Amino acid sequence: MREEEKNRSSQWKTFFKKRWVFPAVYLVAAALLISTIVWYQASSNNSAKDPKVTENGKNISGNKSEEPVIEVNQSFENIVMPVKNEDEARIVTKFFDANASADKQEEAIIVDGNKYRPNMGIDIGKNDGSEFEVVAALSGKVADVRQDALLGNVIEVEHEKGVTTIYQSVKDIKVKAGDQVKQGDLLATSSTSQLNMAAKNHVHFEIRKDNKALNPLTYFGQSLTALTEADVNDSKISGQEAESKEGTEDVKDSEDTEERDNSQSDQTQTEE
């Protein structure tokens, strides 16, 4: 027994005396270590959560999850001019800014017979004066559509946090109240209005925040978030306070009042 143990010990000593033994042992150990690291990394990646792929807020990746999906909404849209091709459009009448110079204010006055009215939006026409398609400047919900001979018909679209866009002087209206519209969707065709005959064929476009008119030219190219965060009580931003919920050009009430005053004056003169 002792001789067998001595022979085995001698064999191991002879084996380890060979030059290639220890390098081989080191290589095997290194290979095992590297294999362990790779396996750990692979198992970590497999346990990570799969990214969510959504369409209209619905998970289409095939993975069930109770976690809410963040949906891209209109806050990330940049406000655009309500026309198909901006290169073919021109500003016929500018926004009346109470802080602007007298010359600039004069350019933003609407002459209605013997009356002068500040323009609380902008009037957009085509370079060649022809009709053009009026599209949604922002995604939103159509709040009101009404026919109006004086204003040339009206479309109101509601957005986030008290923001409303108004389109007047239009015809061939393609939407109705309650419709959801996306930015760039066709709303109507440009037309004329009795109130601003000098503008000829155009669309009157307004942006309102909490029913206060803002200069659309200031916000074209900016996100809706910038508009919703605007301080409409700052006259430097709003230019002036909105006078009517029905839009800048909706002046029927004031005209009716003026007609009643004139009628009462005529009756008084007749009695005298």
The three-state DSSP-derived secondary structure of the chain is CHHHHHHHHHHHHHHHCCCCHHHHHHHHHHHHHHHHHHHHHHHHHHHCCCCCCEECCEECCCCCCCCCCCCCCHHHCECCCCECCHHHEEEEECCCCCCCCHHHHHHCEEEECCEEEECCCEEEEECCCCCCEEECCCCEEEEEEECCCCCCCEEEEECCCCEEEEEECEECCCCCCCCEECCCCEEEEEECCCCCHHHCCEEEEEEEECCEEECHHHHCCCEHHHHHCCCCCCHHHHCCCCCCCCCCCCCHHHHHHHHHHHHHHHHHHHHC
> What are the tokens at 252?
């029927």
Q: Mean per-residue pLDDT for 222-234?
A: 78
Measured N-to-C along each axis, helices 21-47 and 2-16 cross at an angle, to the nearest 10 degrees, of 80
Using the predicted structure, report yes or no on whether residue 204 has a pLDDT greater than 60: yes
> Is 64 buried (19+), middle (13-18) or exposed (0-12) by CB count in 10 A?
exposed
Give per-residue pLDDT as tens, 252-272: 444 444 454 555 555 544 444
What's the average model confidence in pLDDT over 219-240? 73
pTM: 0.62
pLDDT one-digit tens code per residue, 81-134: 999 999 999 999 999 988 888 888 888 888 877 788 899 999 999 999 999 999
Domain boundaries defined on the chain? 2-47, 79-245
Q: Which CATH superfamily is domain 79-245 in?
A: Glucose Permease (Domain IIA) (2.70.70.10)
Looking at the DSSP bridge assignments, the partners of residue 206 are: 166
Tens of pLDDT, residues 154-166: 999 999 889 999 9
